[in-house]
Structure 1
């Protein structure tokens, strides 16, 4: 029997602090539907019809990735750190999860910036520069306070935000149907030539909007009946969101001229205001801000759980694993909050879309490492059909190319920066008499 090294799962929080079935599904839907979709029409507008083909690639690739993670969650409880440790060893597990932690921290900064961008439609003074940063930082601090009280509080906020954030997505679809019903012409997509580069570029920008489908798997240790809940929440949530994204994004671009959509900080609000009036547009903008806020809530919760799992493996200082009475790793929460605030301060600029695009791409690249390695783990451990796992792997590799060399280098640089921290943490744990992670066998059905 072959033995694999894997960290022991962290002790679960009390039942009252755990996530139920509805909350787990809302974690997936609410994490995916966030700042990504509220800004997506603006970021992909210049790509024209490439958008449709990029959506097809993104939907198929994302669902294959979601299936791989869902199958792993069903076959091997314990979350991604465990999957990767069993398949490829502790070092690969650390590098992967550290990269994913970076994606959560940068993601929190990106969605906080999107909160300010959405509110800038109502209050123009906060649409850029220092006022935008102030709103973003305020959002991060409020979310930190919510998460400090435990997973149950964060989960309740997620359910509420998820129900609210779907409204503008459905509203733009209804406005398109109204135009068609009254015989009004729809706006044309940007006249961009169809090309592989255009499809890959648009798909890479879409990836950030789709990140979050893994949230149920990452939060396995704070989920009731995880073996049943996590796979269904992952797959059903991803498919549901993918269909809404496709229709909503095209609807916005059919309502707004391509040039206007491409420079908008709140495209859903700009798309509804001409028909329903400025008050309705302002309301949609506020809902967009709530949408981004809800995503930030889920990202902070996930980052705390990821940091805690790494610390329990001895690869981060013990402080990252210590919890308060609500089961929250407070130092991990403080680290997430601090890094996100620093990233917001470092990204102050007068160009909202440019700043958001870069931070979002770096976050997506860092998350891609987890997606690629988990798809490879599903293939190696025979948890997923080879064809589907192969599609997931090819998609992840293609997205690294689509993200561009600058964002990819930043993502890989931040990933490798974790190795010295791991070395120092292991020395620190060794001097403190810390225990070595337990060795556990892979389940029989996952052994080669």
Structure 2
């Protein structure tokens, strides 16, 4: 009898071990195959992106002003002009900074500002720029540079709060003008990607200055001087910068989305580069659609990260059956991270609706409560819809068995992305 029990126990252990291996290995193999196939497909279909975009849209909110940019060329010229006009200090933080012609223009503008006595502080993510020569990020000693590390040893101890990247994109000049949004720095993004960025002047710039100072002081090395981080006597109630800080386990951006969608009674318009909502956020979106809210989601028809496309598609059936309309952006990568709700509330920022952004990376989203700006965002959304095709439930239900299998095989990877 004891011999039989040992055999049963051994069989159970082997079964569990094999199941765990299959659960881990099969999704990774599927991901490798899909990524390789997508790589070769895009190489053979290389073409110039084309998409409609709007002129910069201006508004006044309290004592501050805003400008929304949807085309990189126009945004970058304004950013460089702001640096060239700097008199006191410049804060620049970015995720990707290409060492191309446009990237060099930003570098030259920062060096020139420093040479005329402006205090310049720069933050860039080391991992995101591994393909950029380190020499590009060599600056004169007067410029303070913080390279967010590629790897932090705490990860080896499974301390996940040290695993996030610095995915933020901020520029602040003299505490008088600030920029935030989805645009990285590079020539590709100037004309080939559809993204959204916000320019702010006036008292609300404090939201971005404070965010940069806090990040700098939290992550600086002993060789780098701390920045003063004063408060403000002027509160601009229509603006709020939500800042994800993994090391402190603070993730307010997710709550922004949850509370805004819960409040919705008319419409929710989401534009997302990578759309993989977690269980609670998905439930809130589905609930809104089922109670009659017009929920529309714009996502890339084919993004630059094929695995996120597949993981997102795994949620389409549930969304479409609930009445959410899904719009596939064509002929270009849409990289915006925006939402507007009921013609009153808007968010523009750096965070995607996925696990990495909402509970992993350093991110910043500006939330703005203003009907005029919300109306501008709705106009932009309508222009973007003109470059989309709607995905209907009937079409989606006819997808191939291979596609369905791929979605199921990749599902275990969704917590990683």
User: TM-score w.r.t. structure 2 length?
Assistant: 0.29
RCO comparison, higher one (Cα < 8 Å, 6+): 1
Higher strand share: 2
Q: Over alpha carbons, which structure has the higher Rg?
A: 2
Higher helix share: 1
